[in-house]
Amino acid sequence: MNADTQTPSLHLGDIAPDFVADTTEGKFDFHEWLGNSWCVFFSHPKDFTPVCTTELGMAARLKTEFDKRNAKLIALSVESVSSHKEWIKDINEIQRTNLNFPIIGDENSYIAHLYGMIHPRANDTFTVRTVFIIDPNKKIRMMMTYPAATGRNFDEILRVLDAIQLTDQYSVATPANWNQGQDCVILPSITDAATLTKLFPKGYREVKPYLRFTPQPGSNPSK
């Protein structure tokens, strides 16, 4: 069996694999730690690397925004917890923050392989920049994979989380480049006039029978 076949294939809607991990905030069971929260789970190629340092600092600065959305942050690198703790000192100093979420120690790469975070054709040793959004039912709702040299856009991760949560709560989808407060798209499956009036009291604009825009329902979590 080669390295490619050892990497499991996860898909949207799959239950996020459970595991027990040592982290910078102690040892815990992943699903138990998640509880009824959403989760942004993201991996880093290696400790004491420049792009990762900026990413973890940015995530720490945005943690209050994720908190507003009932979303926990957790990171992973295939290094030891003791290494992570030393690295956090640098992150806090350089990024002028206080890293306030756990980093998983995964020296044997077990969790990295469990989640398909190691891509052998890119690098057979270190994780690429993978991001998972996991919902309170432990289902994977979003997956992104960045190359090792490209830093992630955490505003985009927040935007996707907002869009998923909005769709879960209301019968809307989000159009291209949507941001908080902008018009949404009514799901094509809703055609009954009475239902449309009930669900979208702000009204809607029909461009085509399958393309109808309505003001964003609900409140904006970023405020």
SS3 for 97-117 is CCCCCCEEECCCCHHHHHCCC
Distance CA 82, CA 68 (A): 30
* Residues forming a β-bridge with 74: 41
Burial class (CB in 10 A: 0-12, 13-18, 19+), 168: exposed
Count the Cβ atoms, other than its own, within 10 Å of residue 36. Answer: 8
Catalytic residues: 52
Full strand arrangement of the beta sheet holding 26-29: 26-29, 20-23, 103-105, 71-77, 38-44, 129-134, 140-146
Count the Cβ atoms, other than its own, within 10 Å of residue 125. Answer: 11
Q: Which residue has the tokens 């703790």?
A: 85
Torsion over CA: 135, 37, 129, 29 (sign) = negative
Q: Which residue has the tokens 């990171």?
A: 75
Count the Cβ atoms, other than its own, within 10 Å of residue 119. Answer: 18
Full strand arrangement of the beta sheet holding 211-214: 172-173, 184-186, 211-214, 205-208
